[in-house]
Amino acid sequence: MAENHVSTTNACKMCTPMGASLAFRGVKGSMPFIHGSQGCATYMRRYIISHFREPADIASSSLGEKHAVFGGAPNLKKGILNVTEKYNPEMIGIASTCLTETIGDDLKMITTEFLSEFADLDLPHLVTVSTPSYSGTHLNGWKLAVRSMIEKFAGSSPALTADNTINIFPNFLSPADIRLLSGIFREYGLKTMILPNISDTLDSPSWEEYINIPEGGTSVNEIALAHRSGASIEFGYFHKGESAGSYLEENFSVKNYNLLPPVGMRATDALLSAIEEITGLERPQRFVNERGRLIDALVDGHKYINFKKALVYGDEDFVVSMVSFLCETGVKPVIAASGGKADLRKRIEAICEGFCPCPLVLEDSDFDTIEIAAADIKPDLMIGNSKGFKISKKLGIPLIRAGFPIHDRFGGQRIITTGYEGALSLLDLIVNTAITTLQEETRVGYGYM
């Protein structure tokens, strides 16, 4: 089977600095900067723009041949000065690339040197993250960037008394999902520090005039206070050294709750329970009602979708959380595939326990492998990003688009999957997909379903 191919065909992942750049986008006044040759930054921008339909400026140190030989430090420094002059950012988030990691550029050292060389200037904060793509995916880059910001800023303001702010490390969710999540906390009357907060920066209103850096995002000052928050909630799986939540717990005793991204009933329940455990607050009636509506809809829809087989693919956290939700609806996940690595089999097994048999789990995989598996297992529907369209078309399996990137549909930045609301909207899509198939397959073309 394709799992032991040497080469990768149609990757189901993106590269590390792209994840880092996206995460840096969620900080107020921040400018992502890729230390490498020009191509990487341009390609990533194009990729990001096609999904979000937003300007996505990412600066690059534009290394040429001589820099690759003699080191990229001079260009990096020049680049920082130029970005500072042109964009006047509060922070520059610098990610390395395969190239600069291999030639041995040390970002921390170069930026420290830079800051002392130009100590007389009013310079932005410089955050660096080491992101060679040969050892990770975009999701690792994202998490590492968040962690490096926390390491850099948290605790840099004096710790006043703890307050009731909750740190949220949402991981890679859509801007609409981030808005939805902050709404949940607002309903409890809580203050949050969401890092990164891409809800406005990657989904901004029309402009009246040119804006250098999109408005919104969490400010460096807010991040600097993260160590005195009441608790942290982080979503997803973190390899060693990736979790900002654990860093705060280890260094500042801020209790960290590691949860599944809140997709579906159980994961949303877990989120609300965690909030209530942290704060001692009661559940707002709104969520009781929303949950009730979700159950009602699950019941209304169950006969259309029970036993339907699903293929789920995308980044590792998306896959696990989506499998969790599907189990609850009666849809049977039969293939769960990701280009990333995150101890998937064990976690998916645990999640399916009591609901359905564990699907075929493909880790560190590509779309070619997924296609071979899908041709064999014949799922009824697929859930994932646009890159699965080729398989969907070839094998005639309807595709429900969610995750990143959405390059062949409109509104990828507005897809919601989290909370009871997100679950409801996903459920509608799934049931309607099943109904569409039913309607198309019967010659009568029933008008009532």
Partner 1 sequence: MTLSILKERKDQVVERINGNETVSCSRESLAGAVSQRACVFCGSRVVLYPIADALHLIHGPIGCAAYTWDIRGALSSGPELHRLSFSTDLRERDIIFGGEKKLEAALDELITRHNPKAAFVYSTCIVGIIGDDLGAVCRKMTELKKIPVIPVQSEGFKGSKREGYFAACKAMFTLVGTGKPENISPVSVNILGDFNLAGEIWIIRDYLKKMGVEVVANITGDGRVDDIRRCHGAALNLVQCSGATLDLAKMMKEKFNIPFLRVSYLGIEDMAESLYIVADHFSHIDKDIEEKTRQLVKTELEQIMPEIKKIREELNGKKAAIYVGGAFKAFSLVKAFRRIGMSVVLVGSQTGTDEDYRELAKITDPGTVIVDDSNPRELSDFIVKKGVDVFVGGVKERPIAYKLGVAFCDHNHERKIALEGFTGMLNFAREIHNSVTSPVWKFHPARLSRVEEKSSEVCCG
Work out the burial of residue 446: count CB atoms within 10 Å of its CB; fewer than 13 is exposed, 13-18 middle, 19 or more buried: exposed
10 Å CB burial of residue 189 (0-12, 13-18, 19+) is exposed
Q: What's the min distance (Å) between Cβ of 362 and partner 1?
A: 15
Binding partner of 315, given ligand SF4, partner 1, none, CB within 5-8 angstroms per partner class? none
289 binds, among partner 1, ligand SF4, none (CB under 5 to 8 A by kind): none
**Is there a contact between 129 and 145 (Cβ–Cβ < 8 Å)?**
yes
- Pairing verdict, β 91-96 and 192-194: unpaired
Q: Quick one: which H or E segment has residue 242?
A: none
Residue 385 in the binding site for partner 1 (CB under 8 A): no
Q: Is 320 in the site for partner 1 (CB under 8 A)?
A: no
Using CB under 6 A, list all residues that contact ligand SF4.
15, 17, 36-37, 39-40, 43, 97-99, 133
Of the candidate residues 30, 75, 321, 417, the single one contacting partner 1 (CB under 8 A): 75
8 Å CB contact between 180 and 244: no
What does 55 interact with, of partner 1, ligand SF4, none (CB < 5 to 8 A by kind)? partner 1
Please answer whether residues 61 and 97 qualify as being in contact, where contact means their C-beta atoms are separated by less than 8 angstroms: no
How many binding residues for partner 1 (CB under 8 A)? 76
Select the residue whose beta carbon is closest to ligand SF4 and give its number: 39
Among residues 107 and 416, whose Cβ is nearest to ligand SF4? 107
Using the minimum distance from each CB to partner 1, give the nearer residue, 207 or 409: 207
Close Cβ partners of 278 (under 8 Å, ≥ 6 residues apart): 166, 230, 231, 255, 257
Quick check: 387 binds partner 1 (CB under 8 A)? yes
For the CB of residue 378, give the shortest distance to partner 1 in the complex, in Å. 22
Q: Which does 246 bind (CB under 5 to 8 A by kind): partner 1, ligand SF4, none?
A: none
Cis peptide before 196 (omega within 30 of 0): yes
Specify the stretch interacting with partner 1 by CB under 8 A; choose among 131-139, 260-268, 323-331, 354-362: 131-139
* 175 to 170, 220, 235, 259, 418: CA distances (angstroms): 11, 20, 15, 19, 11
Position 88 contacts partner 1 (CB under 8 A): no
The answer to whether 1 contacts partner 1 (rule: CB under 8 A) is no
